[in-house]
């Protein structure tokens, strides 16, 4: 289950088995001059089957789109052993229902993915990375809006982190602060393409000029090492939070203008318990990782109080803002009761009906995704 089947250069498409590790596929396609359209912190351990099952987003989402758009073929084994083979995109795509889309993001509740075909664009020859900082969140939003408008399809990633997140990662990874001071908020902007490096550099400098009034400090990376270091800080936050002590993690989706508000409100709720709130994520597509950490392991009573301070507060906030209770990490077992915060009862009803069609006995990932009332195994 972990073999690359082939790379079809004419179609820029990778065919592989579902157990391939994402990073292995990234290296494989890079060697051929192509790029996996997905990149995320867990790349060294996650498998492409898991990425598809969770409809993983990651840092390239803003440019490359979701697994729904990049997965052009899928082979799935259903609960009764039936094999749905939609691996040849040319034969199956243009007509009828696109069944494979049902299995992407279904977290293995409708079928088990065994093979996939992923569209991989050419690997961009050059990239430029800038890190900008401000104490005013509104200015970070301005930087986001202007970067999106000015760079358009050359914008390959825009990431947000607050000081709490950046500093915990720098401490954990023993990295120096790349800027000369501490700021409340940071935005990492990456552009990439096949233009010559000098041209890309010029374009980034032009962008920074346009952003001049909206950041207090910043840098444009001068070497590949520096680019990697900046990315290392951003990608190290999740691991640093887990290593810090007790960590309560939410992965939510909401309009990026509300990021600061929910971070501050969450911090207010856990201040008296000694909780430290970290906010970071893919600001370009409204995905916020909202983590609350505590140094070392405190007693169970404090842990319970923190949990109660956070939940259902975070999910209710999301509901009010029409956001999603999970952005990238799926619903799993723990968030089924909150699915209704982000999906209507009609949608959940139809999801339950689909589950009955594909897995009437409920043997595939039982109790995941759907709340109890939406699906009862073995019932009509
Ligand atoms: C440090 C870190 C950073 C992350 N950053 C991001 C990010 O930026 N963007 C993002 O989207 N996500 C992110 N994630 C979450 C990530 O999407 C998932 O961890 C990953 O995509 C799941 O792949 P996996 O192989 O680990 O799956 P698992 O965790 O093993 O499984 C996830 C679910 O999919 C099901 N599943 C697994 N394989 C299959 C299969 N072949 N067929 C059907 N169902 C299957 C499992 O049963 C389970 O329900 C991050 C996670 C970590 C730990």
For a ligand 1 pocket test, name from 54, 78, 161, 288 the mutation site with the most ligand atoms within 8 angstroms of its C-beta: 54
Q: Give the per-residue pLDDT at 5.
A: 98
Higher pLDDT, 136 or 341: 136
List, chain by chain if needed, residues with CB within 6 Å of any ligand 1 atom: 18, 40-42, 46-47, 49-51, 53-54, 56-58, 107-108, 112-113, 238, 328-330, 365, 368
pLDDT tens-place string over residues 341-351: 889 999 999 99
Quote the mean pLDDT of the chain: 94
Residue 93 has pLDDT above 70, yes or no: no
Query: What would the mean pLDDT of 284-310 be, rounded to a whole number?
Result: 90
Location of structure tokens 């982000």: 342
Edge-to-edge strands of the sheet including 13-17? 4-8, 13-17, 112-119, 71-77, 83-86
The residues that bridge with 281 in the sheet, in sequence order, are: 160, 288
Query: What would the mean pLDDT of 24-39 be, rounded to a whole number?
Result: 98
Examine the predicted complex and report whether its ipTM is higher than 0.95.
yes
Angle at 317 between CA 268 and CA 271, to 5 degrees: 10
Residue 96 has pLDDT above 90, yes or no: no
For a ligand 1 pocket test, name from 18, 46, 249, 253 the mutation site with the most ligand atoms within 8 angstroms of its C-beta: 46
Domains of the chain: 4-119 (3.30.465.10), 126-233 (3.30.70.2190)
- For residue 241, the CA-to-ligand 1 centroid distance in Å is 18
Residue 317 has pLDDT above 90, yes or no: yes
Query: What would the mean pLDDT of 77-93 be, rounded to a whole number?
Result: 86
- Percent of the chain at pLDDT exceeding 90: 88
Residue 368 has pLDDT above 80, yes or no: yes
300-310 and 313-320 helices, crossing angle to 10°: 10
Q: Give the per-residue pLDDT at 89.
A: 65
- Three-state SS for the chain is CCCEEEEECCCCEEEEECCCEHHHHHHHHHHCCECCCCCCCCCCCCEHHHHHHCCCCCCCHHHHCCHHHHEEEEEEECCCCCEEEECCHHHHCCCCCCCHHHHCCCCCCCCEEEEEEEECCECCCEEEEEEEEECCHHHHHHHHHHHHHHHHHHEEEEEEEEHHHHHHHHHHHCCCCCCCCCCCEEEEEEEEECCCHHHHHHHHHHHHHHHHHHCCEEEECCCHHHHHHHHHHHHHHHHHHHHHEEEEEEEEECCHHHHHHHHHHHHHHHHHHCCEEEEEEEHHHCEEEEEEEEEECCCHHHHHHHHHHHCCHHHHHHHHCCCECCCCCCCCCCCHHHHHHCCCHHHHHHHHHHHHHHCCCCCCCCCCCCCHHHCCCCCC
Closest protein CA for atom 48 of ligand 1: 107
Q: Give the per-residue pLDDT at 20.
A: 98
Residue 380 has pLDDT above 60, yes or no: no
Residue 199 has pLDDT above 60, yes or no: yes
Q: How far, in Å, CA of 12 to CA of 7, rounded?
A: 7
Q: Give the per-residue pLDDT at 321.
A: 95
Q: How far, in Å, CA of 242 to CA of 231, rounded?
A: 18
Q: Give the per-residue pLDDT at 95.
A: 78
Higher pLDDT, 301 or 94: 301
Q: Please identify, by atom number, the ligand 1 atom nearest to the C-alpha of residue 41.
A: 3
Q: How far, in Å, CA of 7 to CA of 4, rounded?
A: 8
Query: What would the mean pLDDT of 200-217 be, rounded to a whole number?
Result: 97
- For residue 98, the CA-to-ligand 1 centroid distance in Å is 23
Q: Give the per-residue pLDDT at 379.
A: 53
Closest protein CA for atom 30 of ligand 1: 50
Higher pLDDT, 66 or 296: 66
Higher pLDDT, 310 or 89: 310
């Amino acid at each position: 289950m972990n073999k690359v089947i082939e790379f079809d250069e004419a179609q820029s498409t990778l065919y592989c088995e579902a157990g391939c590790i994402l990073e292995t596929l990234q290296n494989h396609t890079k060697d051929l001059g192509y790029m996996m359209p997905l990149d995320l912190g867990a790349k060294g351990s996650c498998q492409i089957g898991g990425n598809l099952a969770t409809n993983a987003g990651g840092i390239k989402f803003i440019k490359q789109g979701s697994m729904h758009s990049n997965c052009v073929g899928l082979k799935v084994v259903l609960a009764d052993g039936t094999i749905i083979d939609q691996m040849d995109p040319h034969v199956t795509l243009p007509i009828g229902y696109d069944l494979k889309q049902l299995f992407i993001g279904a977290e293995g509740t409708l079928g088990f993915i065994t093979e996939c075909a992923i569209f991989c664009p050419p690997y961009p020859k050059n990239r430029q990375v800038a890190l900008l900082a401000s104490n005013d969140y509104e200015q970070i939003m301005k930087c986001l809006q202007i970067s999106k408008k000015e760079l358009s399809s050359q914008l390959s990633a825009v990431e947000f982190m607050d000081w709490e997140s950046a500093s915990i990662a720098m401490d954990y990874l023993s990295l120096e602060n790349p800027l000369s001071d501490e700021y409340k908020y940071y935005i990492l902007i990456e552009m990439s393409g096949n233009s010559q490096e000098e041209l890309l550099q010029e374009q980034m400098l032009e962008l920074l000029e346009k952003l001049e009034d909206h950041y207090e400090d910043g840098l444009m990376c001068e070497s590949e090492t520096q680019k990697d270091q900046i990315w290392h800080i951003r990608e190290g936050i999740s691991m640093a939070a887990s290593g810090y002590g007790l960590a309560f993690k939410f992965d939510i989706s909401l309009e990026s203008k509300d990021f600061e508000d929910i971070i501050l409100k969450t911090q207010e709720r856990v201040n008296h318990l000694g909780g430290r709130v970290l906010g970071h994520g893919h600001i370009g597509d409204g995905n916020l990782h909202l983590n609350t950490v505590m140094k070392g392991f405190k007693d169970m009573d404090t842990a319970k109080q923190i949990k109660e301070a956070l939940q259902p507060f975070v999910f209710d906030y999301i509901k009010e803002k029409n956001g999603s209770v999970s952005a990238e990490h799926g619903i799993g077992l723990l968030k089924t009761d909150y699915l209704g915060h982000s999906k209507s009862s009609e949608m959940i009803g139809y999801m339950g009906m689909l589950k009955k069609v594909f897995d009437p006995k409920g043997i595939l990932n039982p109790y995941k995704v759907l709340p109890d009332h939406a699906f009862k195994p073995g019932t009509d």
